[in-house]
Structure 1
Amino acid sequence: MNHTVQPTDPATLPVVNENSVLIFDLDNTLYPSSCDLFSQVSVLIGKYVADYLRLPAEKAYLVQKDYFRRYGTTLRGLMMEHKIDPADYLNKVHDIDLSVIAPSPVLANALANLPCRKVIFTNASRGHASRVMERLGIADHFETIFDIVDAEYIPKPQQQPYDRLLARDGIDPTCAIYFEDMAKNLLPAKDMGMTTVWVHSDSDWAHEGRDDPRIDHETDDLPAFLEMLVNKSMR
């Protein structure tokens, strides 16, 4: 989907200081959506559905997408409809090749130069998040991960995981900046008082909500955006 990313006026950016908290989604946010990890995950989800429900691939695909639409994640649908073991599911669907992600020393440097807490907030698993962060070379810059297990398997953009994250980690939403590739996931965060940044994705399904006024900023270059925050915080 074509979308011209609007340039950010540095004057409109918040100042990052020791009281700030940067909250990052993981997939297609910390690395470019062109890496297309989700296609690998989607294939494994389809295989899991086919094997578990003993369905041919084409029927399993329809179930996979139906559960995703109705429950927010295929996992949630499988848990609600079939009482599956979520740990087994998460281990199998995240058994993917991460070599398509290039280490990002520029991202690591920008994170290192921002004097504040940084956390991951993902609908994926902690193990997957840790592997991606290690691959990027940024794991040491994050305080913690809040994953789908911490959210009791209730995915963004439902309200509960946002509430649980802030309560668990003692985050003041008015001091938080939230980065996310799925535009609709930013909207509850803004309603809570966070500054929101949409990290542009080429995936059509990530664009839902992109024109909502609750999105404060957008970028197609996360390291460059973080560098702007660094420059402003150093003034």
Structure 2
Amino acid sequence: MNLSLWDQLTKQFANRWEELLQATGMHIELVVLSMLLAIVVGVPLGIWVSRAPKLQPWIIGGAGILQTIPSLALLGFMIPIFGIGMNTAIAALFLYSILPIVRNTYTGIRDVDAATIEAARGMGLTSLQILFKVQLPLALSVIMAGIRTSTVINVGTATLAAFIGAGGLGDFIFLGLSRNLDALILMGAVPAAMLALILDYFLGITEKLATPKGLK
């Protein structure tokens, strides 16, 4: 007897809910670790490029080239360096996540009104003080937009980690494709989509809390 998709999904969930929880936790770990690395590297790179505009074509252009490499191909390129598993997935996700963060940090800082910067200099602030007290606060919403974009892309791309044995929700999608079971595909795809929405929502709240009151 053929079961409906809903019945199949209910049956698969009842049998595999523990695996689903474990895969979700692994997926979150992949996304969080790669995003933290991308933020730690990407924001300083964006600041550096804003201070040395001649580097902009090289750094932002180079990050853009990385985005053009197909996800599976990039994972394949990482395997000889990091081997099969989680480290390779994190490295590839980091490279895919860095462009929006670098570009938005650069754009946000460069778009700060020149008159505001001159006023800060007139008050005796040093270049470093202007950066942290004026430019970064004013650019924060643009930087956070880049982080949010990277995070959403990262959640979806992380499903491909299953192809190199790194785990995550992609395991269900891969298994569903290999067995031609739509219910298993949905068990991986739906939680991944929900995770992207949840992370984007909480990053939006973080952006509002971190933005100075006068800039909200």
TM-score (norm 1): 0.27
